[in-house]
Chain A
């Protein structure tokens, strides 16, 4: 079945970086964009950016420009999202999601990856 499976929970110290993976299966990976969304505890969903899995082009929310890097490996059907210079405010669940162009919506979501930042 069509699914996105993310890497496991991470605990990091302030100033470190974290890289979360999102492995696609059940569909042609390069035919769809992958977006990243984060949700801090008790907060709303926050769009971070996306990657065209076919050509690798990226676009970031202004808030995350320079803070987040999204990449992909087509041979592994996997997208990655790296957050640098972690602060406690980056503690959140990070989701990847497949963008469905017909509906202009996210039709498939990963299960989420909890990233905790603490000294």
Chain B
């Protein structure tokens, strides 16, 4: 099925540990995004990419790094996890230009940092 796939779906980390979240899309979308969702705050943009090999900071980039080595994949890394990074993380992708009709979201990764 076409769409956005996120792995893992759940993860528990200890403070200071590192991890990488993987996002893969098979729609040939140019743009990809990482958001975090916290209760009562909607979604906030962490980082995004406008094409293979590019990345840019969003609204809340501190403590995260990203890479987009292949067009279909967008990785989100936490170098040293903190309890404040406990959240649900969503990846999304979109086309651009005249073909832009909105985002396709993955099903999310629920991360708990203890």
Query: Does chain A bind chain B?
Result: no
| Residues of B participating in the A interface, judged by any CB pair closer than 8 Å | none
